[in-house]
Amino acid sequence: MALPSKRREMDMMKLMMSDYKVDTVNDDLHMFYVTFHGPTDSLYEGGVWKIKVELPEAYPYKSLSVGFVNKIYHPNVDESSGAVCLDVINQTWSPMFEYCKRYAKPEDIGAPEEISSDDDDDDILHENP
């Protein structure tokens, strides 16, 4: 399991390599801004928003803080402050990646594991009766 600082660096690297515009504050990985466009085929299409993200020292074990810089109308965003008001972010945060590794594998639902596609599969398909 990655240490909090390593996890923060990995997540930031993925974000910086994405299509989103990311602006760090004083090259600090604890606070940054992300600019993104509203999803296509949604009521938010055509809009551009900027959010402020603050990662605590113990991220991902402690919840991050996210708030909109410009106005957005959404039931999970406080209209006056722009703060995202979801329990999953503010109160019941857990490092989800641990749950995926621990509970979301094929064997956890009783499904057979994926079979890799290699040359042996061709033999089965072309076998004579």
Residues 6+ apart with CB under 8 A from 93: 62, 63, 64
Q: Give yes or no: 85 in active site.
A: yes
Residue 17: CB partners within 8 Å, gap ≥ 6?
none
CA distance 8 to 86: 21
13, 15, 85, 88: which is the annotated catalytic residue?
85
Catalytic machinery residues: 85
